[in-house]
Structure formats: C-alpha cells, structure tokens
C-alpha cells in the first residue's frame, strides 16, 4: 500500500508558526473530509488558536495575534465559532471560524482564565477564573449570566450529559458539579449538586451516566465516582498520570502516563492495577497534556507539550495516523465532529 508524507510550510506572518503535517495514511483516493467539521487547538506559547481540518491535514485559519498564553479553546458545534481562555490577558473571547472576533471581555476582567467549555445546545460558555476563585457562565453573546464563587483555584471544567458543569479545584482538592442554570453570583455551596474530595486532583472526564473519572496526580491514580459521589473504582500503577478522556460510546478510558498513552477498560470495578485493565498502549510521547476523542472518525487527538506537537491516534491505540508539528506548548483541543442544530 502506498504511503505518503505531506510536508507543507509557509512564511511566518504575524507570528504564525511554521506548520509541518506528517501524514502516515494511505493513498486510496478517499474523498476530502467535510469542510464543516474542524479541530481547534490552543497553541499556548505561540499565543495563537489554530483551526485544522477534521483529519489534521490542513490548517484552515485561526487567531494569531492579541492573545497572551491561551490555554483553552472550545468550539460551538452549531457554527464552528470558538470560545478562548486568554489566560494572561484576563479575557474570554469568542471568534468566528475565520478568526474574526465576535465578542471579547475587557482586558484583565477575569484574572487568569484557565479553561473554557462551550455548551453547543445553546451556545453558552463556562470559564474557570482560577486566581479569583470562581467559575463564570456567559450566554451565547458574551453576557454574564452568573458566577459560582468562594472556590480555591478552579482550573478545569467540562460538561456532563445534561449540560451541568464539572469543575476541578486544585487548591482545595475538590471536584464540584454545578447546576447548568447558574444565575447571579452564588456561593459554590449553594449551587453545587455534588462535591467530591479529590486530593491531588488533575484532569477530570464525565462518564456519560452522571459520574466522573478523576486523575489524582499526587498518588498517580484514576478514581471513578458515581452520580452519588461514591468511589466505584481506583486504577493504580501509573508512573506519571496526566490527561484523561472517557469515550462514552466505547466505554474506554484514555490516559496519559509519562511518555505513554494508554487505552483502558473504563468499566472496571474495585481496586485494580493498570495491567488488569489495559487494552493497548503507545509510547514515544514527550508530555501528554490533553486528550480528546473525535466521534466523526473515532480518532484520538493528543496534545504533547514535550514534543511541541499534536498526535492523531487510531481508535484502538495501535497507530499514529498523523503528527502535527510547529506548536509551542499546545494544550486545549476542541473538535467539531458533528453539527448541533438549535
């Protein structure tokens, strides 16, 4: 089978980094991926957010100026627009797919916005304002709807199957589930549907059934909590746990462990070791910082800060399909793998 290597590069304009796409797929004459599907990637230290085709073969545009350390980007699957956590500028932005700004908060309005996540059902956005200790919710036009306050350092958030917001707080070592209809400024204790103690909390990922997987960096474990906040499983034996992502369709759990990406059985019960639940693994990464699944083609996208690259892995964790280079600390990835009508 014929293998191809595609390398595309261009001059740096407005601090746009050189892009190198290494495609290790086969030349079968397949049709081009649909243009309405795309992948947004936060290129943190290049101060850019970049939009790629759904297979990673082409850079389509983005925002390459005015940002300062954008750590997170979240696509609205309704129209491919994207919300951005502009961390050191203290802003939350929303941009069109071509990079034009739709909305921006004032500079330094939000001290160190660490993460954003869009609810594509209505276009709203949640943001973790880490250093000020609260989570904010904005409507589709950027108007502030409410805040969950009196938190420690809320640094990461994600949505459950009902649109409620899970938040990881690394200062007080807790995970909160906040009601989706957040309104006004409310103490976290008033709006938290669930509060879970999680010493050394890192990245979290919902299980699609009201529960949550939590990476614990202090003990190098992954714990699963059900919808009542009860521990149902603990996976141990990791060397350096980092990013995790649960595929609610296949019921498989992806985990970054040092230089290795692991695919695990997500339905494990009780206290188990990696060896008991591992399905497959790939090594040779630098530092795995974020993982996201594309339901369009069942690929797994991996941010690798250690190698300044993003890897695209097949659904069985057996092969690197693409490797996109030319980043400087890539982090948040957000995929429009379906069109959400509203």
- Give the pLDDT mean for 110-114: 94
CB 99 within 8 A of CB 62: yes
Determine, yes or no, domain membership for 183: yes
Question: Can you give the CATH number for the domain in which 132 is found?
Answer: 2.120.10.30
The pLDDT tens digits of the residues spanning 47-80 come to 999 999 999 999 999 999 999 999 999 999 999 9
The residue range of the domain holding 250 is 200-283
Q: What percent of the chain has pLDDT over 70?
A: 90
29 CA to centre of own chain = 32
Strands in 76-199 per DSSP E = 82-86, 91-95, 101-104, 113-119, 124-129, 134-138, 144-149, 154-159, 165-169, 174-178, 184-187, 192-197
Identify whether residues 219 and 256 lie together within a single domain: yes
> Is 231 part of any domain?
yes
CATH code assigned at 257? 2.20.25.650
Higher pLDDT, 195 or 34: 195
Q: Is residue 23 part of a domain?
A: no
Is the same domain home to 72 and 191? yes
Please indicate, yes or no, if residue 211 is contained in any of the structural domains: yes
Let me know whether 155 and 186 are in one domain.
Answer: yes
Question: Looking at the predicted structure, is the pLDDT value of residue 5 above 80?
Answer: no
Choosing from 231, 257, 283, the residue where a domain stops is: 283
pLDDT of 300 strictly over 50 = yes
- Per-residue pLDDT, averaged over 137-142, amounts to 97
Same domain? For 85 and 192 the reply is yes
> What's the pLDDT at 34?
73
If asked whether residues 243 and 189 sit together in one domain, one would say no
Q: What share of the chain is helix, strand, coil (3-state, %, to 5)?
A: 5, 50, 45
Residue pLDDT, tens place only, 30-48:
566 677 899 999 999 999 9
CA 178 to chain centre: 19
How far apart (Å, rounded) are the C-alpha atoms in residues 27 and 219? Answer: 45
End of a domain among 170, 197, 224? 197
- Are residues 176 and 225 located together in one domain of the fold? no
Q: Do 141 and 159 lie in a common domain?
A: yes
Q: Which two tokens stand for residue 82?
A: 């994207």
- Distance, in Å, from the CA atom of 12 to the CA atom of 19, rounded to the nearest integer, reads 10
Pairing of strands 221-225, 260-265: unpaired
Is 337 among the domain residues? no
pLDDT at residue number 36: 87
Residue 335 lies in a domain: no
Q: Tell me which of 13-22, 92-101, 115-124, 225-234 is least confident.
A: 13-22
pLDDT of residue 240 exceeding 50, the answer is yes
- If asked whether residues 186 and 144 sit together in one domain, one would say yes
- pLDDT at res. 31: 61
What distance in Å separates the CA atoms of residue 231 and residue 24, rounded to the nearest whole number? 41
301 domain-assigned: no
CA distances in angstroms from 301 to 52, 79, 192, 216, listed in the order given: 12, 21, 31, 22
pLDDT of 11 > 80? The answer is: no
Closest CA to 67 of 122, 119, 16: 16
pLDDT of 82 higher than 90 = yes
Strands 124-129 and 134-138: antiparallel
Whether residues 164 and 257 share a domain: the answer is no
Domain tally for the chain? Answer: 2
β-pair type (270-273, 231-236)? parallel
Tell me the C-alpha distance between 298 and 267, whole Å: 19
In a domain, 342, yes or no: no
């Amino acid at each position: 089978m014929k293998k191809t290597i595609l390398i595309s590069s261009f001059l740096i304009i407005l601090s746009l980094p050189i892009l190198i796409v290494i495609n290790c797929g086969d030349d079968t004459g397949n049709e081009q991926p649909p243009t309405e599907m795309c992948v947004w990637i936060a290129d943190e230290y290049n101060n850019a957010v970049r939009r790629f085709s759904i297979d990673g073969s082409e850079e389509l545009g983005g925002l390459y100026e005015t940002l300062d350390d954008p750590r997170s980007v979240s696509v609205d699957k309704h129209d491919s627009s994207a919300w951005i956590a502009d961390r050191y500028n203290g802003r939350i932005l929303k941009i069109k797919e071509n990079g034009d700004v739709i909305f921006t908060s004032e500079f330094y309005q939000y001290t160190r916005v660490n993460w954003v996540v869009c609810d594509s059902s209505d276009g709203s956005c949640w943001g973790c304002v880490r250093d000020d200790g609260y989570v904010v919710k904005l409507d589709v036009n950027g108007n502030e709807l409410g805040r969950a306050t009196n938190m420690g350092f809320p640094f990461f958030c994600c949505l459950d199957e009902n649109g409620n917001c899970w938040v990881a707080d690394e200062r007080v070592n807790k995970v909160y589930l906040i009601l989706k209809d957040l309104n006004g400024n409310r103490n976290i204790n008033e709006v938290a549907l669930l509060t879970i103690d999680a010493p050394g909390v890192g990245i979290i990922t919902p299980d699609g059934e009201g529960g949550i997987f939590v990476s614990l960096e202090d003990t190098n474990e992954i714990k699963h909590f059900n919808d009542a906040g009860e521990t149902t499983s603990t996976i141990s034996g990791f060397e350096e746990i980092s990013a995790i992502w649960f595929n609610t369709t296949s019921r498989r759990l992806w985990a970054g462990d040092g230089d290795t990406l692991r695919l695990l059985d997500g339905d494990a019960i009780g206290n188990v070791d990696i060896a008991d639940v591992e399905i497959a693994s790939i090594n040779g990464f630098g530092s795995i910082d974020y993982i996201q699944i594309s339901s369009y083609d069942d690929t797994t996208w991996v941010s690798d800060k250690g190698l300044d690259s993003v890897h695209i892995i097949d659904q069985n964790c057996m092969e690197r399909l693409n490797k996109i280079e030319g980043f400087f600390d890539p982090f948040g990835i957000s995929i429009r793998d379906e069109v959400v009508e509203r």
